[in-house]
Amino acid sequence: ITVVTWNVGTAMPPNDVTSLLHLNTGETNDVDMIAIGLQEVNSKINKRLKDALFTDQWSELFMDVLSPFHFILVSTVRMQGVILLVFAKYYHLPFLQDIQTDCTRTGLGGYWGNKGGVSVRLSIFGHMVCFLNCHLPAHLEKAEQRKEDFATILHMQQFEGRVANGILDHDLVFWFGDLNFRIESLDICFVKYAIDSNVLSQLWEKDQLNIAKSTWPVLRGFQEGPLNFPPTFKFDVGTNKYDSSAKKRKPAWTDRILWKIKSPSTGLGAGRRRPSQGVLSVSQLCYCSHMEYTVSDHKPVAAIFAVQFASKVDKPPVEIYVADEWSRPEQAVVRYKMAVGFHRSSWDWIGLYRVGFRHPKDYVSYVWARSDDGERCLEKQLCVSGLQVMFSEEALPKGNGEYILGYYSNTSSSIAGVTEPFQISLPRSEEGSSPTDSSGSSSEEDDSTLVLLAPKSRSPSPGKMKRHRSRSPSLAKFQGLILRPSSRDRGTSRSPSPQSRRGLPRDIPTIHVPQELGCCGAKGKEPRQAADSLEGSSFYQTIQEEGRSQHVSTDSPLARADPRNLGLLPALRLEMIDKALGQRQENVDQGYYPCQRMSSISPPGCGTSPKEGCSP
């Protein structure tokens, strides 16, 4: 497990972080997980608004760098400028369960999130592990405040479940971040002399955190490797020179990484046996700073740990079986079986991923794992191993490439089963292709980099596959415009979007506003609304202009400007009825009855079928 902490000082990400993550060494092949804690990420109002629509630039950078090495984003949590990202190799994903996040504000008496802690906890092969990223109060004299804030974070953060409800209840805790502990007593000249002379051990005994580990009960059991690297704060930005400003802050090891193994006797009641020693052990292989990064006044710190334990889980919750190659659409059959006790949901789905995908919802296509036959079998506890689904030909990628299948559990919000990489070799379809089709395809690929926010999620909804059948905003139709779904859609939508199973009304309801005539025999100007047409494979807009009707395809710019597509306005159009009177008789002759099939918002008094219709 690699752990990284960096106070980035509101800076933009650098171009390359491979050395920080130790990706240019042979150690990468042995690393299974990476936890990255950032502090002071730019959280000004304009930046936060942008990050509310798109993934922040730091998270994008780490996903882009790590995905070629088969690291997938497992979970992320952000509290203003404090961010925590946890990555793991894709084949470990089914064994990472019970993933939860939490955050605690301690700035301004607990009302502001510039200081505090964010955490990700999860079960790793049956062992409970918690990653805690903190940004504690600054300045030399605030040591006691740092202790109180850390105790507050430990007390406030509670997780759901039968085990490991508090942070210190976990089998293993990694605590890291800008902890802001300083060097006491020694003046700045002696500190710089010790650094230049490489006699850092003379500074250790005056380090506030080293002192606190032996005096504060809240830190009992926390371990840290030797500080064999220079203090990581404070530098002139863009250089490796310590603070040369008028303040001339004393160098200090503010950025730290510690760990704690749960005591074997913790939580033992009367009559319970003490677990055997050596169930879980941690050894630190590396603990260093990276002086080559100069975008901040802090230097990043990284540590690599070897965690050894007996695996409590032998098989994944879901096992997926697939052929070695899909060369024909009819071969796209996926068989899977679930472990006994696996909590299946009707919202589970199986995603098809390119090798090198970035997060669990970064799929090429998906298919619902829901099946009526399978549900009946599960109710009877019979054919748990006989479930299968099939990808449609339209959902399969064309050309050659390596792909992975993953079973996404909606209950646990994680991948519960994956396959080994397999080959897809399907001929590219050239017949029937057009410039319009190809441009639409490319825009959908481009949109895959745009990530919409959902509660505790920074990944797009699977409903994006079939935009013409989804209530979610259509990214491809409006280049560069990303909008949140309406409150009604958010309240009824899940990921994958259940509305993708239902079609939308194809016609925009029309309200005819009479100038002189009443509606349905009533005087006044009570509006009437036309029926929703359910005919055709795509919806059209009806436009009445200069006494003639037009149907405009969805592909036209006017159709793309449909407010229903934006999710901003009700889907209705106002027309003056006198412009439509010329077409009334012609419409009736052709079987079209205005104001006969009414939507749920139609005014009372009009029928719901042609026979019940009424005319002015």
What's the average model confidence in pLDDT over 492-516? 42
Residue type, 109: G
pLDDT at 157: 97
pLDDT at 616 over 80: no
pLDDT at 518 over 50: no
pLDDT at 236 over 70: yes
pLDDT at 372: 53
Residue 603 — pLDDT band, cuts 50, 70, 90? very low
pLDDT at 375: 52
What's the average model confidence in pLDDT over 13-19? 94
Residue 165 — pLDDT band, cuts 50, 70, 90? very high
Residue 73 main-chain phi, psi, to 5 deg? -70, 115
Query: 3-state class of 49 per DSSP?
Result: helix
pLDDT at 477 over 50: no
Residue 4 — pLDDT band, cuts 50, 70, 90? very high
pLDDT at 499: 39
Q: Which residue has the higher pLDDT, 568 or 238?
A: 238
Neighbours of 405 (CB within 10 A): 24
Q: Average pLDDT over the chain, rounded to whole?
A: 76
**Of 46-55, 337-346, 397-406, 469-478, where does mean pLDDT reach its minimum?**
469-478
Query: Under CATH, what is the fold of the domain 2-265+278-308?
Result: Deoxyribonuclease I; Chain A (3.60.10)
The rounded percent of the chain whose pLDDT value lies above 90 is 56
Sketch the domain layout of the chain as residue ranges. 2-265+278-308, 318-372+380-426
Q: Which residue has the higher pLDDT, 526 or 9?
A: 9
Going by the DSSP 8-state scheme, the letter that residue 51 receives in this structure is: H
- What CA–CA distance (Å, rounded) separates 413 from 420? 21
Residue 488 — pLDDT band, cuts 50, 70, 90? very low
Going by the DSSP 8-state scheme, the letter that residue 207 receives in this structure is: B
pLDDT at 536: 41
- What CA–CA distance (Å, rounded) separates 148 from 134? 13
Q: Which residue has the higher pLDDT, 389 or 595?
A: 389
> Using an 8 Å Cβ cutoff, are 298 and 235 in contact?
yes
pLDDT at 55: 84
pLDDT at 435: 41
Helices (H) and strands (E) in the chain, counts: 12, 25
pLDDT at 111: 77
- Tell the residue number behind the tokens 């995908």, with chain if given: 357
pLDDT at 376: 54
pLDDT at 235 over 80: yes
pLDDT tens-digit map of 171-227: 999 999 999 999 999 999 999 999 999 999 999 999 999 999 999 999 999 999 999
pLDDT at 514 over 50: no
pLDDT at 451: 38
Residue 348 main-chain phi, psi, to 5 deg? -70, 150
Opening angle at CA 61, ends 57 and 63, nearest 5: 120
pLDDT tens-digit map of 529-576: 433 443 443 333 444 444 444 444 444 444 444 444 444 444 444 445
> Using an 8 Å Cβ cutoff, are 133 and 37 in contact?
yes
What's the average model confidence in pLDDT over 392-408? 96
pLDDT tens-digit map of 415-440: 999 999 999 999 986 544 444 443 34
pLDDT at 152: 96
According to the CATH classification, is domain 318-372+380-426 in 2.60.40.2840? yes
Q: Which residue has the higher pLDDT, 380 or 530?
A: 380
pLDDT at 28: 53
pLDDT at 108: 85
What DSSP assignment string belongs to 436-496?
HHHHHHHHHHHHTT----BTTB-S--GGGGGGGG-SS--TTTSTT---PPPHHHHHH--SS
pLDDT tens-digit map of 323-334: 999 999 999 999
pLDDT at 77 over 90: yes
